[in-house]
Structure 1
Amino acid sequence: MKKYILGLLLSGTCLFSGCYYDVESELYPKDPNQTCDTLNVGYQARIEPIIKSNCVACHTGSGAGGNVSLDSYQGVRDATINRNLYGAVSHTSNKPMPQGGNKLPDCDINAIKKWIDNGHPQ
């Protein structure tokens, strides 16, 4: 009988511990002292990594999604002038991007806006 109860307790422990899941924001909360740097936002240092991480998979070359190629400085610059890149990534346009994905972090969106407002510096 003792073996049965011990087995039952061990099974219950394994069962309940198997339901645990991690929530990234709870494990790694944002540092309240960390700020979003938008003072000197240049294409190569700040914007290109955002675009490569979130956009280039679909928006590359001649077969780019929506005929918007974002694999070069010129392509990204043109998208801000002609196709409202900012509206897409901030989810304020009729075609929010990334398509079917979550909105980019506010810091990245603010950096893109600052880059556009500053005249698209390299």
Structure 2
Amino acid sequence: MKKYIFGFLVSGTFFFSGCYYDVESELYPKDPNQTCDTLNIGYQARIEPIVKNNCVTCHSGSGASGNVSLDSYQGVKDATISRNLYGAISHTSSKPMPQDGNKLPDCDIIAIKKWIDSGHPQ
């Protein structure tokens, strides 16, 4: 009887573990018709929502992680100039962000790069 229970538990473990997916591209394939809008990228309309949704949990206020506060326009602008924000979010620097998380969507990274290259428009 113990053999059957053990066998059932082991086979159940394999069955359930085989149903778990953690590969984002397999779960959410890219829509080939979807485009990345990179025209007229301003801080308030495009960049601020990205930063608020992905960065300010750790990077805000006086106790900001790594002393990098991203809860204002000036803070984000300063981080792009002196702290290599683009390198961190594109995972090309030694400190990829979000820390212990997945890279931001490519369109968000492209938008931030365009914003930087355009001179940080409000």
Which bracket does the TM-score occupy, shorter chain normalised? Answer: 0.7 to 0.9
Structure with the greater alpha carbon radius of gyration: 1
Instruction: Tell me the distance in 1 between the aligned counterparts of 2:92 and 2:28.
Output: 29
* TM-score normalised per structure 2: 0.78
Matched, 1:106 2:116: no
Structure 1 residues 91 and 25, CA gap change in structure 2 (3 angstroms): closer
Supply the RMSD in Å over aligned alpha carbons: 2.0
User: In the TM superposition, what whole-angstrom CA distance separates every residue of 1:33-64 from its partner, at most 9, and x where no partner exists?
Assistant: 11011111110111001100110000001100
Percent of residue pairs identical: 82
Show the 5 A alignment for 1:14-93: 19=16, 20=19, 28-93=28-93
Segments of 4+ moved more than 3 angstroms: 18-29
Q: How many angstroms does 1:90 deviate by?
A: 0.4
Q: For each residue in 1:2-55, what CA deviation from the matched residue of structure 2 results, as whole angstroms up to 9, or x when unmatched?
A: xxxxxxxxxxxxx7xx84557775565332111011111110111001100110
Q: For the residues of structure 2 that align with 1:101 and 1:21, how far apart are their CA atoms?
A: 18
**5+ residue gaps in structure 1?**
1-14
Q: 1:49 to 1:95 in 2, by over 3 A?
A: same
Measured in 2, the distance between the counterparts of 1:25 and 1:43 equals 28
Q: How many residues end up aligned between the 2 structures?
A: 108
